Amino acid sequence: MSTKFSVHESGGAPLKLWDSHAPFEAQAMQQLRNIASLPFIHSHVAGMPDVHLGRGATVGSVIATKKAIIPAAVGVDIGCGMSAVRTSLTAGDLPDNLGAIRADIERAVPKGFETSQKANHSKGGWASTPNSIGRVWHDRFEDRWRRIKSKHPKVDGKTTDQLGSMGGGNHFIEICLDEEDRVWVMLHSGSRGTGNRIGTYFIDTAREAIAKERLDFHLADRDLAFLSEGTELFDDYIEAMSFAQDYAMANREIMMGRVLDALRGHVPPFKTDKAAINCHHNYAVREHHFGEDVWVTRKGAVRAREGDLGIIPGSMGTGSFIVEGAGSADSFHSCSHGAGRVMSRTQAKKLITLEQHQEAVKGIECRTDAGVIDESPAAYKDIGAVMEAQTDLVRIKHRLRQIINIKG
């Protein structure tokens, strides 16, 4: 399979870019060059075809680092990712009016600023949730969280209250159909306020630590402040980041269970595939690439080793893809995490009309009010072009089209 990336010199490490919308926006390119200028970058920086401007580091970038990690590159939505499961249902098993399914899912899964605690005490909430979430929290997280807070009290915030909740922004829940009209459930969420507190705290702490050091190179952006391996602060960040990543994974597991339970009230009995796809796309992990063990930060990118299953969503009106990794060494075994924004949220609210949004999502049971204009399909890149740009990174297994979309 031929490679589809282009190589760009940066003054530091090379950039390998999968250009779906060449050229990448100027600000994103500058961010990529800033990252590549760091002396601990390993081999090169990879830019996925959904690249767009981020905080410090570019969304859609894969950054391999030696003996250092950049908290802002991991970001504040630590462990944000996708989950999908295929059911035995087909389109013919669904009711003609999908509004009641959407309403029950919205009651079951907190969204926006809602918390699990609010849902548990509301009429029609989750009858079994308090005990099940309590067990998950106690068995997986309580001791770890207590240890993290004892060393860094400022990371404290909502924890169990937000397990099983979606949040807002680009997070979503969807009921989809594949090319055989099989019904899938798909969702997008992360570590919620817990990951945000951890990420924000360690980004600030890294800045403070770097400000006290005499670097022998120029840090192009203060959001590229890094933590050096072998220091206590580095170890503390790895522990807290790993906690948030595991929290995000559990959050999606609980959400998926709640969505499937809500769906069961409207359709015939059904089964699901034994294993759901559950993958991060904002995270860091230790991996081996180009002869060395390094830290790989995927900021808006999915791991795509040979045979890995992943999810690449488009937008709330354009469908999504279930993919299998092709194991590209040049991308550090990675692929895009979605279509990528082509407009900022502010631009989208100014440029996209309500009528345009309603036309773009016609036929989908979803929100069509002004509150989701910034998530309208026109705010995102063409998912078809994004997929075409990475045929050397993934193989398409299924294309999904949403019939229900739920936004925070």
DSSP 268-294: ----B-SS-EEEESEEEEEEEETTEEE
Question: How does DSSP classify residue 39?
Answer: T
Cβ atoms of 377 and 352 within 8 Å: the answer is no
**CA-based diameter of the chain, in Å?**
66
Nearest to 309 by CA among 298, 328, 322: 322
Catalytic one of 152, 188, 280, 337: 337
Number of H helices and number of E strands within the chain? 11, 17
337 is catalytic: yes
DSSP run (H or E) holding 34: helix 26-36
Residue 9: phi and psi, rounded to 5, are -75, 145
The dihedral through the CA atoms of 55, 56, 57, 63 has a sign that is: negative
- Residues 50 and 336 sit within 8 Å (Cβ to Cβ): yes
Q: Are strands 41-52 and 59-65 parallel, antiparallel or unpaired?
A: antiparallel
β-sheet bridge partners, residue 402: 176
State the first-to-last Cα distance of the chain, in angstroms, to the nearest integer. 40
The tokens describing 37, both together, are: 């200028």
Q: Cα(92)–Cα(196) distance, rounded to whole angstroms?
A: 41
Q: For helices 142-151 and 232-264, what crossing angle results, to 10°?
A: 140
Contact 18, 389 (CB under 8 A): yes
Here the tokens at position 297 are 């930060």
Active site residues: 337
